[in-house]
Amino acid sequence: MFRIGLCPFMISAGLLAQSVSTSPVSLQQVFQSNGSPVTATISISGGGSVQLAPATQSGGNWLAVAQSSGSLPLTATVTMDPSGLPDGTYLGAVTIGSAKLPVTITVGNPGPQLPPNGIVNAANYQGGAISPGEIVTLFGTAIGPQIPYGAQVWDGAMTAKLAGTRLWFDGTAAPLIYALPYQLAAVVPYNVAGKTTVQVQVENMVARTPPFAVTVQATTPALFTTDGSGKGQLAALNQGASVNSASNPAAKGSVVVLYATGVGVLNPTVPDGTIVSSTPLPVPVSPIQVTIGGQAATILYAGAAPGLVAGAIQINARIPTGIPTGNAPVVLFSGTAGSSGNCTVAVQ
């Protein structure tokens, strides 16, 4: 049998890939407002020749390298120039062959800051994971405009930018419901479906928060309550559209309308931020179930809420006749995930 030597194939397949490392492995620099440029020296080890390419995520051309190529090992000079940059935190990197040197500078006030636990479900304020189309709330520092801004609708969809504020999921800007200096509400883009994690960043004017990873699940169901806490009396309507409450309970066997989010991908699909108005109304791909008073409720409808943004879900459920009178606990199941407890509807 004719055999071909392995070496040419190993090289062409990249099995002898170039190994490049840097010291330090990253650069961080703090500047006063209107500060002067600072240079840093990095040592690059490995073999062969490399190209050096600086790039910034936002904020202009504040990052530069003295040389564009060289043979390893070599020493390179990196320049960080904050001239003309507003106060804030800026991210960049120098690509060096197969390696990447992250660079972060802070100018004056550190600007927008978003802690990793700062993103939660807007219905129950629980964090830990997100899902496609979930309405989320974010809490941080300087993450929004100095005065409150509500949603802006353009061509039937909520815009992804309010007064210079944007929220990014792996490079996709999310539709914004409102923006405050310390709080945002948005709809997770549907293209996170199928991913295990995404990188989240908030942008306020040209400055962005450092990215952090958030776990993605198929569903993260939660029900909206009257006080926005995710506990107690649900934001529910009785049959006939009156508001459900202890003073206006629903009859057993009647239909209540519940509102939720975090049920995942919809069918048919709609663009992010769409204000749902046309039929057929999108419905969740994952199966929806509801228990009221510990018993399974008959679902008459579960899908997009007409007049609201895609991601807000309306569920019309019939109250089981065999449950006790009073505050009946309600649990929403979407796929294999269930909502947190302590949510109730008033039943007579």
Q: Are 18 and 48 in contact (CB under 8 A)?
A: yes
Domain 222-347 sits in CATH at 2.60.40
pLDDT score at 59: 65
243-296 per-position pLDDT tens digit: 999 999 999 999 999 999 999 999 999 999 999 998 899 999 999 999 999 999
pLDDT score at 49: 92
pLDDT score at 279: 85
Q: Look at 17 and 348; give whichever has higher pLDDT.
A: 348
Burial degree of 72 (CB within 10 A; 0-12, 13-18, 19+): middle
Assign 340 a pLDDT band (cuts: 50, 70, 90): confident
Residue 11 has pLDDT above 50, yes or no: no
Domain 26-107 sits in CATH at 2.60.40.10
Q: Are 254 and 236 in contact (CB under 8 A)?
A: no
User: Half-sphere exposure of 142 toward its Cβ, with a 13 Å CA cutoff?
Assistant: 14
Residues of the chain with CATH 2.60.40.10: 26-107
Whole-model pTM: value is 0.72
Helix (H) or strand (E) holding 22: strand 20-23
Domain 119-215 has CATH 2.60.40: yes
45-61 per-position pLDDT tens digit: 998 999 999 999 866 89
pLDDT score at 208: 87
